[in-house]
Amino acid sequence: MQWTTFFESLAQLEPNDEFVTGRPGGLSPELAEQMADDIATKLNLNACDTLLDYGSGTGAITRALATRVSSTTAADMTKAVVNRGIKGGGDIEWVVLGDDNPDLTLNPSSSGSFTKLLSYYNAQSFTTHTEVREHIETLCKSVAPGGTVMFGDIPDRERSNQWKSGERGREENRTTWMGRLQKRDIDLERDEHNLAAFSDRLKGLGIEPPPEFGKPHPGFDRDIVTRMFREIGGEVTIVTQPIEFPNAHTNVDYVVQFSE
């Protein structure tokens, strides 16, 4: 669980919520709103929906989605991240996922009750398609008949050659997180071009990044991921993010519709 440890240490060491998102560059409210617009369109969100954001982080995007639906649940496996999310406010029910907290796991009675389900920017921590399958099976248990799942911002094998070190989190998306590191003697211009060196410097700050942190993700195979959803009964649409979309130039979104 190195990623959980990483997020846990970020959440404990950093006073600023935007740092804790785990997105190099942070996530400003403006950017979260822009991403929420994109997600709301793809999920066809409406005021009657019950939304689950699974792997929500501190909920910057969740909060921007919560105003558009009837009820919102945010679930994350990192307790310190959920505690930050609760402090961030919004009309959101928070859940800590995981074996350590059996009382706090997603209530079985809410299983299968969500009309819209989002899992966004979580798959970077998976290395195998088997891990992706387990995640997909978990997600699909929570979606209501006729509901929609968006498995979004997923590293894509076909696009992995487009990855350039340091490009994730450029411009508007890099401000807060990088800014805070700069104050701690991280050199933005130097380190953003070399994520491996960047990750070494994080270690120097007492934050343990996972071994994969400084490397491009090789990506997942679209056909394999599509088949996983199809076998559970979902109809899959793959949306290739435009290259200039923040934080997503090597990624794709899977929008999955289930029948009634």
How far apart are CB 13 and ligand SAM at their closest, in Å?
A: 15
Backbone angles phi, psi at 117, to 5 degrees: -135, 130
**Cα(52)–Cα(44) distance, integer angstroms:** 14
Length of the chain, in residues: 260
For ligand SAM, the closer of residues 8 and 191 by Cβ is: 8
For ligand SAM, the closer of residues 56 and 142 by Cβ is: 56
How far apart are CB 259 and ligand SAM at their closest, in Å?
A: 26
Whose tokens are 């696009």? That residue is 159
For ligand SAM, the closer of residues 56 and 187 by Cβ is: 56
How far apart are CB 22 and ligand SAM at their closest, in Å?
A: 4
The dihedral sign for the CA sequence 56, 194, 199, 183: negative
How far apart are CB 122 and ligand SAM at their closest, in Å?
A: 4
**Cα(63)–Cα(47) distance, integer angstroms:** 15
**Cα(171)–Cα(161) distance, integer angstroms:** 21
Q: State the residues that interact with ligand SAM by CB under 6 A.
A: 3-4, 7, 21-23, 27, 55-57, 60-61, 76-78, 81, 97, 120-122, 125, 135
For ligand SAM, the closer of residues 45 and 60 by Cβ is: 60
For ligand SAM, the closer of residues 64 and 186 by Cβ is: 64
**Cα(237)–Cα(43) distance, integer angstroms:** 11
Pairing relationship of beta strands 114-120 and 251-258 according to DSSP bridges: unpaired
Which residue's CB comes closest to ligand SAM? 57
Q: Give Rg (Cα) of the chain.
A: 17
How far apart are CB 59 and ligand SAM at their closest, in Å?
A: 8
For ligand SAM, the closer of residues 139 and 186 by Cβ is: 139
Please give the single-letter amino acid code of residue 196: A
Q: What angle do CA 108, 135, 163 make, to 5 degrees?
A: 150
How far apart are CB 61 and ligand SAM at their closest, in Å?
A: 5
